[in-house]
Structure 1
Amino acid sequence: MSFKVTSAPISAQMMEVEQKYSAHNYTPTPIVFENGLGCEITDVDGNKFLDFSAAYSACNTGHNHPAIIKAVKEQYDKIALPSRGFTHSRYAEFCKTLCESFGFEKVLTVNGGAEAVEFAIKLSRSWGYVKKGIAPNKAKVMMAAKNYHGRTLGVTSGSSNETARKNYGPFIPNVGPSYGDGKTLQFNDAEALEECFKLEGENIAAFIIETVQGEAGIYPPSPGYLEKVRELCDKYNVLWCADEVQMGSYRCGPKRWAYENLSTVKPDVLITAKSISGGIYPVSVVLSSAEIMNTIEPNTHGSTFSGSPIACAATIAALKVYVDDKIPENVAEVGPYMLEGLKAIGEKYDLITAVRGCGLIAAFDLNTEWLKKSGMNAWHVVMFLRAKGIACKMVHGTTVRYCPPLIVTKEQIQVGLDALEDCCSLLPNMKAENIPGVKEFHYLAH
């Protein structure tokens, strides 16, 4: 049997140390990155992989894009951090570039995606009190069930994932998918959204949703759903906040934002992060109209590294790379090739029960009952793909995501498809312990 990655002794040693000293807030696929360029990564043992995770879309432009690295290095030679108690020479250009490129009037910068959603909650509440006239401390921010907006306490308050919530209560009230008398608002359910607004609309400041639910397993909205969201938010005077932290920057198609690829309407508030700085430096932003953004008071939100010169340099350079490298055009060509290839494999083999996706991101559900009978689970599928040189992740123990950098070629996509087809055809005749790495990294299995 032909495996590309059969041994990783240094990786095993490092991960043992990591397990001993690091908080166990992640369960990584056992690949210890050492170098990366474009879609290719090398681990500490010299094994080479194609990255089909792209740091959850942060590395849309590929790892260590030379143009972005150059811009950041040049900025480091000048100044890295003056603090937000002052301003700096890159910030005006940064704000102007983002607002004009993204089609909004005002921008607020923070660092991570969860921070941006946290601010969107605050912004929505502020607008609700100042503009909508919601009674003090009554504002509600709706979210959809099975969302993933991050892991901060405010965002986790809106989660329906009990594993994410366990031992972290009490939670912030009036944030999340609950409405009415014990009902739960589901993503992609326009009728339930209208019922929710009818029941509680006078106190609802905003509806925050991922345009495509990512961590849930890549669930795009049905045609017409986002238009209905826009219609209902207008009717009940509710802000529609689109979380495009993972799905923005051409991930979902040749247009910049997922909502542009999947609808004809525009949100009131845009939340994005990760890929706007090319995976080089943490940058997240919230954009909206002047009317909405001006409801916040000076000195009531911010963070030390937000909008730093390095953040601005990385973002401005990355936005140029999207154009110069013709990334939208590549997504338009390669995205359908990957999705069609996955669907063809799914139709051919029993291991895959469903395939979903849009643009250049896709997920395939696994036949977990079949795996269980063979003494395996989704982790073993990921480990098989790892042994074939494909770095990818699973979600919820049932689904595997393919999310390569947007510069990926058809030839590289085909390598990923061939690896999956080998997995589907060969795994039924294998024992779990014969998959390279399974014995060494058994403690990571779910």
Structure 2
Amino acid sequence: MHEFIELESRYSAHNYHPLPVVLTRGKGVWLWDVDGKRYLDMMSAYSAVSFGHSHPVLVAALTRQAEQLAVTSRAFHTDRLGPFLQTLCEMTGMDRALPMNTGAEAVETALKAARKWGYKVKGIADNRAEIIVCHGNFAGRTTTIVGFSSEPQYRDGFGPFAPGFVAVPFGDAAALEAAITPRTAAFLVEPVQGEGGIIVPPAGYLAACREICTRHNVLLICDEVQTGLGRTGRLLACEHEAVKPDGLVLGKALGGGLLPVSAFLAREEVMRVFKPGDHGSTFGGNPLAAAVGLAALRLLQEERLSEHAHETGARLIAGLRAIRHPAIREVRGKGLLIGMELDPAWMSARAFCEALMRKGILSKETHDTVVRFAPPLIISEAELDEALVVIRATFEELLPAAEARRRTGESFFV
């Protein structure tokens, strides 16, 4: 195992700090390392593997299409793109979709659409449009996107950044309204902040934002790259408050855990601002991606995975809260997007994830103090219960060392 880690360390840019495990195979909710050890995947590649690893229906769709036609570019029509976009629009209630590859690309598409709508439809003066975002947001790693991040590391050394973004506190609808000016084109928001620490806003927040945006003629764009497609127990997280956005960003699970597929969806008035040549992608909407995306959407419906995520997520949250370890500050989330915040005086989230790894569960920390639990939506109740047993045992195993560190004030962070 160590030779693979050393090889990666030698030749890869050091822009990641992965757990010390080398994976070689996956099936369903399980992963295996190069030594044959099995792990329960409680991470799902940040929701990209919502259908589990190597789902036979999705692998079959990928294989069939790869043998027939994979990439043509959008210079030509294909018989795969139309059915995919039709299903995507009908399921989400949006008028049109613009296919891309990664979530960050889809967010960039949303920003371009919002700005051009602001100029051509709302009448904002050229180059003056503003887009409101939230503190704690995470929408990708492009220079535009990190420019409106509130995380110092994401910005450090990458400026100068594009102007035109205003940040407000997440979960505060009054702050949103106070920040709106005649130059405001859109409000871009995650219904639940994922990378920010699985932050769930107060009940009624998104509905209030919808009303405020409508009243001020501001586009409400929901970034559901991580929360969308069943992850929070509904098809879209915004559906928890019966909110229909003007624009919607999807990705991750849309590719079935097999390849990058994303899309920006919007109502007709917004999407109409794009003319031929305004925007594009060589790989966006390719036949292979469209075939897999369509199969993933159908699978989501046929296996009722949103409903399953709602039920199993409630079971997992209840099980985590029942542990009642003094290191646990809070357990929060929706569906199968759950964050367990730890008191750093007891233990770091990284140390806890490494201990879980040794016991056969894979997860990853965010912001030093939060452990994410976001397993594939296909996970069974028995598998969840198995995970809860291991999580509880891990706390018990770490308790003596954690108590010693807390008494001495020794830090986990290096």
In structure 1, what is the equivalent of residue 343 of structure 2?
A: 367
5+ residue gaps, structure 1: 1-9, 178-184, 372-376, 433-444
Q: Share of identical aligned residues, percent?
A: 40
Deviation at residue 52 of structure 1 after TM alignment = 0.2
- Correspondence 1:33 to 2:23: yes
Per-residue deviation, residues 228-272 of structure 1 (Å, max 9, x unmatched): 10111011110000000000011111x2000102x0221100101
| 1:245 equivalenced with 2:225 (yes/no) | yes
Deviation of the 1:431 alpha carbon:
8.7
Instruction: Give the whole-Å Cα distance in 2 for the aligned partners of 1:227 and 1:302.
Output: 32
- Does the 8 A contact of 2:344 with 2:369 survive in 1? yes
Q: 5+ residue gaps in structure 2? A: 404-412
Superposition misfits of 4+ residues, deviation over 6 angstroms: none
AA aligned to 2:225 is V
Distance across 2 between alignment mates of 1:378 and 1:402 = 12
Retained in 2: the 8 A contact 1:272–1:286?
yes
Aligned-residue offset at 1:343? 1.0
Q: Partner residue of 1:120?
A: 110
Structure-1-length-normalised TM-score:
0.89
Tell me by how many angstroms 1:101 deviates. 1.7
One-letter amino acid matched to 2:293: T
- Tell me the equivalent position of 2:129: 139
Which residue number corresponds to residue 6 of structure 2?
A: 16
Q: Deviations over 1:34-67 (max 9, x none)?
A: 1101100101111100000001001111111100
SS in 2 for 1:370: coil
Q: Which residue of 1 aligns with 2:98?
A: 108
* Partner residue, 1:6: none
Cα distance per residue 1:280-318 (max 9 Å; x no partner)? 110000111111101122111111110000100101111
1:148 aligns with 2:138: yes
Contact preservation (8 Å) 1:143, 1:175: yes
Quote how far apart the aligned CAs of 1:194 are. 1.4
Check the 8 A contact 2:232/2:310 in 1, yes or no: no
Quick one: distance in 1 between partners of 2:175 and 2:166? 14
What's the TM-score once normalised by structure 2's chain length?
0.95
Determine helix, strand or coil for the equivalent of 1:247.
coil
Partner residue in 1 for 2:237: 258
Q: Counterparts of 1:250 and 1:285 in 2: how far apart (Å)?
A: 16
Q: Which residue of 2 aligns with 1:53?
A: 43
Measured after TM superposition, the shift of residue 91 of structure 1 is 1.2
Q: Residue 414 of structure 1 aligns with which residue?
A: 385
Say which of 304, 314, 318 aligns to 1:340.
Answer: 318
2:32 equivalent to 1:42: yes
In structure 2, what is the equivalent of residue 385 of structure 1? 356
For 1:350-361, list aligned pairs within 5 A. 350-361=326-337
Aligned to 1:218: 198
The answer to whether the 8 A contact 1:157-1:176 is kept is: no
Question: In the TM superposition, what is the alpha-carbon distance from 1:222 to its structure 2 partner?
Answer: 1.0
3-state SS, counterpart of residue 126 of structure 2? coil
Note the C-alpha offset of 1:366: 1.1
Aligned partner of 2:282 in structure 1 is: 304
Native 8 Å contact 1:159 1:176 kept in 2: no
Deviations 1:190-212 (A, max 9, x none): 11111112xxx200100001110
C-alpha deviation, 1:378, in angstroms? 2.5
CA RMSD after TM alignment: 1.5
2:397 is the counterpart of 1:426: yes
Shift of the alpha carbon at 1:328? 2.3
